[in-house]
Amino acid sequence: MNTLDRQAHWQNVYQTKGERDVSWFQETPEISLDLIRATGAGKGVSIVDIGGGASRLADALLEEGYRSITVLDLSDQALATSRARLGARAAQVSWIVADVTAWQPAGSFDVWHDRAAFHFLTEPQDRLTYGECVRKAVRPGGHVIIGTFALDGPERCSGLPVVRHDATTIGNVLGRSFRLAESRRHEHKTPGGAIQRFQFSRFRRDG
């Protein structure tokens, strides 16, 4: 699936479904917040949320006092949902409409967070390009947090196939300069009551 097809798919999802009608909805993104706290990074660090869309992570980070937050998503409709929900506070967040596999970061970040975007990259070349983008965007000493369906998780989501991962397959994409700090299992309960098995891996960039 190319960038235009991906963008059209996600625009349609967010135009036709409410925020709480998608399987990945979380009222409070506790595991993401916990992993960001686990980096030990201060409130002044720069954080980018890949595929953040209508996620409530930006809301929660603002509540905790983080001051440099960027949210990137393919769908401007998804980002519009978040901006509307945040109201005046939306001005405190940088919003980017882009495909991460084609994005050229203008600056560097201390924390890269991705919950459930990476596993939609089913083409090997897209995963390689993703890894290149991480290496451009994350400064030495920075952290990468990636959550995907676990090896025993769903094989499809939102009508699309996914590639399931563990810490090893993600580490292979990131490269040798990223050291695994921890990996956690997580069971996400969808709004419909189903259980989806995730894994979250946190890496630190050594050089």
Show the CA angle centred on residue 157, arms to residues 156 and 162, nearest 5°.
Answer: 50
Q: Which domains does the chain have, with CATH numbers?
A: 3-16+26-205 (3.40.50.150)
**φ and ψ of 85, to 5 deg:** -65, -40
Q: Residue 180, by phi and psi: left (phi above 0), alpha (psi -120 to 50) or beta?
A: beta
Q: Which two tokens stand for residue 123?
A: 């083409």
pLDDT at position 22: 80
| C-alpha distance across the termini of the chain, in Å | 33
Closest-CA residue to 165 (of 148, 181, 182)? 148
Model's pTM, two decimal places? 0.94
Summarised one tens digit per residue, pLDDT across range 161-206 is 999 999 999 999 999 999 999 999 999 999 999 999 999 999 999 9
| Residue pair 45/61 in contact by the 8 Å Cβ criterion | no
3-state SS, residue 18: coil
pLDDT at position 60: 98
Instruction: Please report which confidence band the pLDDT of residue 11 belongs to, taking 50, 70 and 90 as the band edges.
Output: confident
Summarised one tens digit per residue, pLDDT across range 105-145 is 999 999 999 999 999 999 999 999 999 999 999 999 999 99
Instruction: Please report which confidence band the pLDDT of residue 93 belongs to, taking 50, 70 and 90 as the band edges.
Output: very high
